[in-house]
Amino acid sequence: MRTRDDIRNLAIIAHVDHGKTTLVDALLNEAGAFHRGEVATERALDSGDLERERGITITSKPTALTWKEHRINLVDTPGHADFGGEVERVLNMVDAVLLVVDAFEGPMPQTRFVTEKAVGMGLKIILVVNKIDRDGCDAHGAVDATFDLLVSLDANEDQLEFPVVFCSARERYAVEEPDDEDSPHLPISTILDMIIEHAPAPKVDLDAPPTMWVSTLHHDTYLGYLAIGRLDSGAIEPNDRLALIRPEPGTEPDVVKDCAEVFRASKLLAFQGLRRFEIQNAQAGDIVAIAGMSSLNVGDTLTDPDLERRRAFPALAVDPPTLAVRFRVNDGPFAGREGKWVTSRKLGERLFRELRSNVALEVQNTESADEFEVSGRGELHLSVLMETMRREGYEFCVSRPRVIVRENDSGELEEPYEDLVVQTDSAYSGAVIEKLGRRGGEMTGMEDNGNGRTRMEFRMPARGLIGYRSEFMTDTRGTGIMASIFAGYGPHLGQKRTRPRGVLIVLEPGETMTYSLARLQDRGVLFVGAQVPTYAGMIIGEHSRDNDLVVNPNVNKKFTNVRSAGADEKLFLTPPRVLTLEQALAYIEDDELLEVTPENLRLRKRYLDHNVRKRMEKQAS
């Protein structure tokens, strides 16, 4: 084994909105990795439309820079626990992690999730305390909290002796002592110097057969599949013959001799800044992309085609999903008006294709040929898939999300629980405690930090958090921060009604009229405005009482020659409540569906015909 001192491989991990993607921007800019005028916007690695709109990282992306004759490979990872499958697989490519922590918030639950994976793999920790320019921050307190976190995760002595740098990624400077106002500002490149000094160089065997574990993949229009990962041993050149091995879960990798295919590496690509460029040779320790295979899954192994020299990695293992929804063909009256792909065959192909790169997702066929059960890590994980599909032109219906329950050894039902951390202004803590108590939450800790903010910790069922985020932001007037992480399975709390009120259901097809909607406003809150096409069974609002009400919003005022007393009254409509995809998913009940099309989101009953719906309700009771 030899040490390649010219390379450092690191993953950047942090909680959502702690500034890791902004930090990558600053480091790439400092190292001159961008061409002139190449980066016109912030968060350069957040290349997807959804990532830019939501301000979060969804997929892991490798990049690289050159600093003081060292090549530093950086992998930007998601901070949300729903995309933990992305994190678990890319940690195989690196030898150290750059742990970014907000100086104000400290380590959050989802920081613990990713850090626990890194500690378990024995990776070196380098701590970056970010946002030291934020008012009310406690940079040294964040360091102490990180140390306590690593101790609780059984980190070894080397991991506990982590180097620390204090910085502001947005302002692009670092300091040695954040509490000292006279402390001189250092360049952000201080972090790069620390990486070279403290991150271990990869130890590789250059004489062994070439072997690479596919950590992530990409599909290019011209090159086809691109297998991205770190070359574990040996060397590869273009046109070299390679074997693609796909071990089944639970199979010993050493006994895997069958390969999915043997192919020639048509292209060999490396990363620099935002670009991929072609190279003629890759050695063990490099993070590269290889093209030429006809099929590819995350977790596959690329190795020597010689049967005696083959070596396979085990099948990639990730934490199981906790939430499931059913995708089905849109069978409503408006089906096919907006979408490009509307059949069950196209829907199934797209969902099963997602499994190749989204390792935390599970897709299963159901008793109906028109329905597919899709299981994921959480509400955000599934809603991002739905939003991506609707933008691609797919049209479908989804059911209400449900948690995946299981039976323990005693035959009792168990459901997933989550650890929730809430930070909010102290004046709103009472409302938060009351709402979470109704949803089955149990407070496990409470701390007042003395500046008007309260930190609370809860253990609660995962289904209790479905749809709570928007309610939480309303209750805390936008001042609250909440984060949760899967904590394990616990006792099932039985059936609970999630929605206290009924809905307003359309009687017959037509177009909504201001005249009708003005009269329905007293009955509840409307979800649609005037001149909106509707169909029988569609939900247009929330009833003010706990029962469903069938209404006709499509009646216009009758015009006659007789002047009525209220003829000149002007009608005013309250602006409708427009639900986002996540809010609509959380709102619907078991007998309802969310119709997702490229242009609209519609709530509807599962059975559109009123007579059929009444008959099904009688059978259920």
Binding residue ranges: 17-22, 130-133
Q: Report the candidate in 453, 433, 458 with the shortest Cα–Cα distance to residue 443.
A: 458
Q: Which helix (H) or strand (E) holds 486?
A: strand 481-491
| Separation CA 599–CA 532 (nearest Å) | 13
| Separation CA 287–CA 73 (nearest Å) | 7
Q: Report the candidate in 456, 445, 446 with the shortest Cα–Cα distance to residue 481.
A: 456
Dig out the tokens for 604 from the structure: 């509807």
What backbone torsions phi and psi does residue 430 show, to the nearest 5 degrees? -60, -45
- Residue 278: other Cβ atoms inside 10 A: 11
DSSP three-state, residue 342: coil
- H-only helix segments in 68-123: 84-90, 109-120
Cβ neighbours of residue 241 closer than 8 Å, sequence gap 6 or more:
262, 263, 264, 265, 305
| Separation CA 517–CA 456 (nearest Å) | 42
Annotate 506-528 with b (16+ C-beta within 10 A) or e (fewer): beeebebbbebbbebeeebebbb
| Separation CA 612–CA 618 (nearest Å) | 10
Side-chain-facing half-sphere of 504: CA atoms under 13 Å: 21
Phi-psi region of 317 (alpha: psi -120 to 50; beta: other; left: phi over 0): beta
Cβ neighbours of residue 592 closer than 8 Å, sequence gap 6 or more:
400, 503, 539, 603, 604, 605, 606
Query: Can you say which residues are annotated as belonging to the binding site for GTP?
Result: 17-22, 130-133
Q: Are 198 and 163 in contact (CB under 8 A)?
A: yes
Q: Burial-class residue 598 by CB neighbours within 10 Å (0-12, 13-18, 19+).
A: middle
Enter the DSSP assignment of 89.
Answer: H
Q: Are 25 and 57 in contact (CB under 8 A)?
A: no
Cβ neighbours of residue 318 closer than 8 Å, sequence gap 6 or more:
84, 85, 88, 89, 359, 360
| Separation CA 10–CA 586 (nearest Å) | 37
